[in-house]
Amino acid sequence: MAELQALGVRSIPVVTRGKEYVFGQMIKDLAEFLGVDYDTKPELSPQELIDKLDMVTSASLRFVAQIPEEKLDQDLRNRKRPIRDLCYHIFRLTEVFVDVVEKDVYLVRDLLNPPAPADVRTTADLVAYGTAVQKRLHNWWDGFAAKDCEQEVDSYYGKQPLHNVLERHTWHPAQHMRQLMMLLRENDIEPNGPVPDSELDGLPIPEKVWDD
């Protein structure tokens, strides 16, 4: 980290070559940095991604509603993060995405990972928050003219096509949705309307539900 900080880098993953570096958030940037010919255009169209994100949000709302209140303060099995914060994070990813597009907010990592605020404590609070975010996504997309999503977004990992950022903000909550299903099953609760991995085809989603 000392070497990275000397270059002015404050977050990882990052790939360095001498005094040059690129953030490892997007394969497109890595390919360009390494001189590799790689097609990084998302496999799914913007409309298909919106449909996937809407499905993921609806499923996450169902699964969050099934989590017993007493479990919300428990940490996830492989990291020190309360289940409540994971649930909040799933919907926060979409809220930040819409903020970035509607309000021209600079996308920084700290926006994505705050703990659940004081007014989002119960299961009902989380469901209400997620429902409001989903409604906002619908309203934004319905009124958004540039549905090809070719404009660029300025972020902590460089300027990115909106299409690619939308893809990232679709597969990321989808991965956490899979984790919610596993959490429920580990507590002997069958997810309400489970989502098979086949429904996530076309997203660059990790193979494993949890990192080891």
Question: Domain segments of the chain: what residues?
Answer: 2-34, 46-200
Q: Do residues 120 and 126 touch, judged by C-beta distance below 8 A?
A: yes
How many CA atoms are closer than 13 Å to the CA of 151, on its beta-carbon side? 10
Amino acid 212: pLDDT = 43
Task: Single out the residue of 152, 172, 159 nearest to residue 32, CA to CA.
Answer: 159
| C-alpha of 9 from chain center | 22
20-23 and 14-17 strand pairing: antiparallel
**Per-residue pLDDT of the chain in tens (212 residues, 90 and over written 9):** 777 777 777 777 788 888 887 777 767 778 878 888 766 789 999 999 999 999 999 999 999 999 999 999 999 877 789 999 999 999 999 999 999 999 888 887 788 889 999 999 999 999 999 999 999 999 999 999 999 999 998 877 778 899 999 999 999 999 999 999 999 999 999 999 999 999 999 999 988 998 64
The amino acid sitting at 65 is A
CATH topology for the 46-200 domain? Four Helix Bundle (Hemerythrin (Met), subunit A) (1.20.120)
Cα(153)–Cα(129) distance, rounded to whole angstroms?
25
